[in-house]
Amino acid sequence: MSELTIGLEIPETAAVAEATVLVRETTSPLIYHHSRRVFFFGLLHARRLVVDLDPELLYVAALFHDVGLLTPFSEIEQRFEVDGADHARQFLLRRGFSVGAAETVWTAIALHTTPGIPGRMAPLIAMTQLGVLTDVLGLGLDDLEPEQVEEIVAAHPRGDFKNEFLRANVEGLRHRPETANGTVNADILEHFIPGLQRTTTVERIVGAPWPS
């Protein structure tokens, strides 16, 4: 285990090393540093809540959770979360991880922008989302030791994170706004893209091919 900050360690495994290189090369400094912070915050919350999870899988989930914003997995237009989840599942299966492990990581990434569900699921899934919520919205930040938070941010600076992260979401989803329906990204697109007209759920129901 490689210690990066006080009381926190990154697993020294081939998968961790390869995931780190891959995400650094295929995303951006913004996404890379955000993803590493998500791992550390998720790990801190896991220890605080005394939940058992595999830190190597948490690392992969955190590192891949936003890659779909910049690197779509397939030519099929789908939610960026699913793109990232597909990337991670393939990454794990190609390196000999079990189907169960790959599916848990897939679910953690696919649901990380879906409110109310991940927190009721397996620890890896719940802690991945909680790490995201802490870094993006500050939820759970007061539950963490300030010294550890400071060291994490020193190692992975936030910079102008709020504005840059919003821009990254808009640019990553501008060409596929319908895929954001039902996620927290829908209102981001509506706020930043003038004249965006999403198909609402009401319109989908009324327009369904049924007489009533």
Using the predicted structure, report yes or no on whether residue 3 has a pLDDT greater than 90: no
Give residue-wise pLDDT tens across range 90-117: 999 999 999 999 999 999 999 999 999 9
CB 102 within 8 A of CB 93: yes
Each domain of the chain, given as residue ranges in start order, spans 2-157
Structure confidence at residue 5 (pLDDT):
61
Structure confidence at residue 1 (pLDDT):
52
CATH 1.10.3210.10 describes domain 2-157: yes
CA-atom Rg of the chain in angstroms: 18
Using the predicted structure, report yes or no on whether residue 161 has a pLDDT greater than 70: yes
Determine the average pLDDT of the residues in 35-56: 97
DSSP-derived letter for residue 9 is: E
Helix, strand or coil for residue 8? strand
Determine the average pLDDT of the residues in 64-68: 96
CB 169 within 8 A of CB 188: yes
Confidence of residue 20 (pLDDT cuts 50, 70, 90): very high
Task: Please tell me the pTM assigned to this model.
Answer: 0.93
* Average model confidence (pLDDT) across the chain: 93
